[in-house]
Amino acid sequence: MKTRSPIAVLLLPLITFGIYSLVWLVKSKGEMNKLVDPNVPTAWLLIVPIANFVFLWKFAGAVDQVTKGASSQGVSFALLLLLGPIGQAIVQSSLNKVAA
């Protein structure tokens, strides 16, 4: 896993009008797919209205596996779904602990 600044993960979506959020999800998904099995599905699901929930649930499951339970799947899913960039920054800080 690559270490990223949670502050950057929080502020860059505001500057890039949300595009960095998608970039962060895709990059983090790729890094987690190398570490966990089963893999997180394709990020193209983010643009399909109901399938984006499936993507976020699988992504949160991969976060749970990578952090070895330090950040549970349900909590990660709720953070990503409800808090957006704030949730992404929190999830990134838990992923940074694994990368260190």
18-50: pLDDT as tens digits: 999 999 999 999 999 998 888 899 999 999 999
CA distance 100 to 95: 9
44-86: pLDDT as tens digits: 999 999 999 999 999 999 999 999 999 999 999 999 999 999 9
Name the token pair of 87.
Answer: 């949730």
Residue 74 makes CB contacts below 8 A (sequence gap 6+) with: 60
- Is omega for the bond preceding 38 within 30 degrees of 0, making it cis? yes
pLDDT band at 100 (very low <50, low <70, confident <90, very high): confident
Per the prediction, the chain carries an average pLDDT of 94
